[in-house]
């Protein structure tokens, strides 16, 4: 079966499942499932960084099917996030994850001026986190003693498209300057000699001087958290798409090559490429995100090189679809065995962005994607 036919078949199974799942979870903002039923962060934690992915899934499905139910659910998710937009301490580096998937997606599809306003407010807040001395966007908020004011993280590359969008809409180059400065800093300090990436880099927030890299959600200092590697692959190629700067594509390819060379024989992506050899913990989200990034690299490269990234992304997705996905309506999630952080107590559960990036990757293959980033 050709890869396109395979992806079309998976797309059909996604649509059949989500028609039921979205309907029965209409008024929620899910993060994970408990016994196969989506939880709801609406009242639990409206500022949580993943709260846009449900809306993003709904926009992808609306774009692919034109079923109004999805648009209504996505709009409800977007409006609920206004509480977050009004809460300064709930705003952080993850604004792209929350508002590109909701408000900006809505604006792209419908031109809604309220959504445009939300997107720009979020972009302004993100731009306001820029540290001029160190040329990075600050990660997280004050931990109580000010000691994390100089922290930047690899994940933040995925939020830069909110600034690129704001620049493209307003033609105000400040958004572009900030996004590029952060991407340049990531290229210089996060990408290691062996093409793996750090999760956290600490800079002196006053002088901007690089201090050290830290362990984060992976196994430890100097380890190789797979979702961080995946954020780098997708994040750098997105910066390339928005700016045309060749070195960003170079970084995306380098990290992708490292990622592909590190996948164990099983084909399942571990939580950290440097976790102990007897540790079998997996993170399917890393596989979904890396596949999205590789498919974008495949689009901007040619010939044999392009086929390598395209085939690698398909291999990751096929392994997931066969062994890690549930397309029945018996449970709300699609993707299983996702892990938020190596040292968390809970591992290998369902996480909403696993489903989001799996759907996005499949829709990239079928041509049904709404480009969110
Ligand atoms: N952005 C946080 C994470 O990837 O877990």
Residue-level pLDDT, tens digit, the chain, 373 residues:
899 999 999 999 999 999 999 999 999 999 999 999 999 999 999 999 999 999 999 999 999 999 999 999 999 999 999 999 999 999 999 999 999 999 999 999 999 999 999 999 999 999 999 999 999 999 999 989 999 999 999 999 999 999 999 999 999 999 999 999 999 999 999 999 999 999 999 999 999 999 999 999 999 999 999 999 999 999 999 999 999 999 999 999 999 999 999 999 999 999 999 999 999 999 999 999 999 999 999 999 999 999 999 999 999 999 999 999 999 999 999 999 999 999 999 999 999 999 999 999 999 999 999 999 9
By most ligand atoms within 8 Å of CB, the mutation choice from 227, 272, 339 for ligand 1 is 227
Q: Which positions ≥6 away from 286 have C-beta within 8 Å?
A: 226, 227, 229, 230, 269, 271
Domain locations in the chain?
A: 3-366
From 23, 35, 43, 94, the catalytic residue? 94
Residue 310 Cβ < 6 Å to ligand 1? no
- At the second CATH level, the architecture of 3-366 is Alpha/alpha barrel (1.50)
Listed residue (366, 361, 290) closest to 6, CA to CA: 366
For the CA of 153, the nearest atom of ligand 1: 1
Listed residue (200, 232, 202, 363) closest to 297, CA to CA: 232
Distance 1 CA to ligand 1 centre (A): 35
Residue 155 Cβ < 6 Å to ligand 1? yes
From 40, 124, 155, 172, the catalytic residue? 155
For the CA of 231, the nearest atom of ligand 1: 4
Pairing relation of β-strands 130-131 and 136-137?
antiparallel
For the CA of 217, the nearest atom of ligand 1: 5
Distance 53 CA to ligand 1 centre (A): 12
């Amino acid at each position: 079966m050709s890869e396109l036919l395979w992806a079309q078949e998976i797309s059909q199974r996604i649509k059949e499942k989500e028609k039921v799942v979205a309907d029965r979870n209409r008024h929620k903002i899910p993060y994970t499932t408990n016994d196969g039923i989506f939880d709801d962060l609406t009242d639990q934690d409206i500022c949580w960084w993943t709260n846009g992915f449900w809306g993003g899934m709904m926009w992808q499905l609306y774009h692919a099917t034109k079923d109004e139910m999805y648009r209504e659910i996505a709009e409800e998710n977007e409006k609920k996030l206004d509480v977050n937009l009004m809460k300064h301490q709930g705003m952080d580096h993850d604004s792209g994850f929350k508002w590109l998937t909701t408000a900006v997606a809505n604006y792209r599809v419908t031109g809604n001026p309220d959504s445009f306003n939300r997107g720009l407010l979020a972009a302004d807040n993100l731009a306001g986190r820029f540290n001029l001395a160190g040329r990075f966007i600050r990660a997280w908020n004050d931990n109580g003693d000010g000691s994390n004011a100089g922290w930047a993280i690899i994940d933040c590359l995925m939020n830069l498209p909110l600034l690129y969008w704001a620049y493209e809409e307003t033609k105000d180059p400040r958004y572009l300057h900030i996004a590029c400065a952060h991407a340049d800093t990531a290229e210089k300090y996060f990408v290691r000699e062996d093409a793996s990436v750090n999760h956290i880099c600490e800079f002196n927030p006053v002088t901007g001087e690089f201090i050290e890299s830290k362990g984060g959600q992976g196994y430890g200092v100097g380890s190789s958290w797979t979702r961080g590697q995946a954020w780098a692959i997708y994040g750098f190629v997105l910066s390339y798409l928005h700016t045309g700067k060749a070195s960003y594509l170079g970084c995306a390819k380098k990290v992708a090559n490292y990622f592909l060379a590190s996948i164990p024989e099983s084909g399942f992506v571990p939580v950290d490429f440097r976790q102990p050899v007897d540790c079998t913990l997996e993170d399917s989200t890393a596989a979904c995100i890396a596949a999205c990034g590789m498919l974008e690299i495949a689009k901007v490269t040619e010939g044999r090189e392009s086929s390598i990234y395209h085939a690698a992304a398909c291999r990751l997705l096929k392994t997931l679809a066969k062994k890690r996905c549930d397309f029945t309506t018996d449970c709300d999630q699609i993707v299983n065995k996702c892990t938020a952080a190596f040292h968390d107590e809970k591992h290998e559960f369902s996480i909403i962005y696993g489903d989001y990036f799996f759907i996005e990757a499949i829709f990239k293959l079928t041509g049904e994607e709404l480009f969110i980033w």
